[in-house]
Amino acid sequence: MLFNSIDFAIFLPIVFVLYWFVSNKNLKLQNLLIVVASYFFYGWWDWRFLSLIFFSTIVDYSVGIGLSNEDNKTKRRVLLWTSILVNLGFLGFFKYYNFFLDNFINAFSFFGTEIKANSLNIILPVGISFYTFQTLSYSIDVYNRKLEPTRDFIAFSAFVSFFPQLVAGPIERATNLLPQFYKYRKFDYYKAVDGLRQILWGLFKKIVIADNCAKYANLIFNHSSDYSGSTLVLGVLFFTFQIYGDFSGYSDIAIGTARLFGFNLMRNFAFPYFSRDIAEFWRRWHISLSSWFRDYLYIPLGGSKGGMWMKVRNTFIIFIVSGFWHGANWTFIVWGALNAIYFLPLLLTNKNRTNLDIVSQGRIIPSLKEFSRMFLTFCLTVFAWIFFRAQNIEHAFHYISDIFSPSIFTIPHFTGMSKAFITIFLTILFILIEWFGRQQQYAIEQFGLKWNRFFRYTFYYALIVLILWFGGDEQAFIYFQF
């Protein structure tokens, strides 16, 4: 079920009414309703994969109980590895089986040995990369005694399957979200209104910005050999704002929806395209995944405590694994490695934690130094997105070589160029609103609150009109395929 669908527009109010007006006096009943609603939400896409979520829930719940009753280090380690192997085993089979098989065959073919093996027609379960990491965080935190294991199976099931963030995050930690299922929740009008405002902004990002940019990004990338270098630059810029509007839009809708039910999810994006270096970009982009890899992979590997070689090694590991998490394609691995290379100079000069504040805080216009650093970081990010979007490595290099040709100095042109100016205008307007709202949790959190009531609601209704105007075709979220 898509957030930007009529189905969800019907589903959400029904669950909201049942949650606050039918089961509001019984915490267990509220949590059970969330579980039922979440399974219905996920099963709407394909009910067969509900068994995966349920099995993963049982495994990690049982591992948690086992860890609470066991002090023997060896047995505790066995329980932890049971969780890791089961969860990553499912993820590896559904997401990476054909990738490893094809590369295994190609490796032997390179040395003159032919191996015959059939790949499987495997459907990738939506959200498996997200809820797998979410349940793993619970088992790891219980193992490390950072969290008391729960004996409330309904609350734990609700934590694993919580529908606002089930299929595309944010990847919640058990230490943050699970305890919220233990507490009595009272309806908060202002919290709900704030949630609706964030949902509105998320829908605008997705439907008006991302989906419109997607049309032109797909057109240019799918026929890249037909276009000039300048048009290809425009194509990757369209994709740059497509993926940001799409993914951060989903996160905004998820966080806003959770607030309607009295829950606080972690922030997943913090205006990453206003970053002044790559380290800052990764502190602001897909925060729940970046921090997950930091806490559960980078730090256990030694983090930055060892010598320079260890720091470099760990940095490349975390970026390459992050790239591979995004998909079973060498393009994602190269994308991750490229970001590691970007990060390396900052690491070697100990400047990877320089820009921790908000850019141009308290000022409208950035300084020339800030602007130049933002522009450079943005350009590096855009270049890396070519690998992320390309069909394969060969396509990515052809795309890049065609950009850096004399045709880059021509005027961009493609079919539907005149209509694209509307999208370009709306994207520029979107960037301006994000800039003025960059000190908030999301761009319009405080935007217009001090305005006259008439102008404030005119702004909100303008967003709604744009969403309805451009909302004819439902487009799946990019990260559903990850």
Q: Active-site positions?
A: 326
CA distance 205 to 378: 19
- Burial class from Cβ neighbours inside 10 Å (0-12, 13-18, 19+) for residue 11 reads middle
Count the helices and strands in the chain (H runs, E runs): 18, 0
CA distance 377 to 281: 8
CA distance 311 to 290: 16
Question: For residue 412, is it left (φ>0), alpha (ψ between -120 and 50) or beta?
Answer: beta
CA distances from 7 to 1, 2, 3, 19, 164 (A): 7, 8, 8, 18, 14
- Residue 220's nearest CA partner among 66, 78, 348, 390 is 390
In b/e form, how buried is each residue of 445-463, taking b as 16+ CB within 10 angstroms? eebbeeeeeeeeeeebeeb
How many residues appear in the chain?
Answer: 482
SS3 162: coil
Helix (H) or strand (E) holding 77: helix 73-110
CA distance 406 to 402: 9
CA distances from 479 to 163, 254, 325 (A): 15, 13, 11
CA distance 183 to 197: 25
- Are residues 42 and 23 in contact, defined by beta-carbon separation less than 8 angstroms? no
- Are residues 258 and 164 in contact, defined by beta-carbon separation less than 8 angstroms? yes
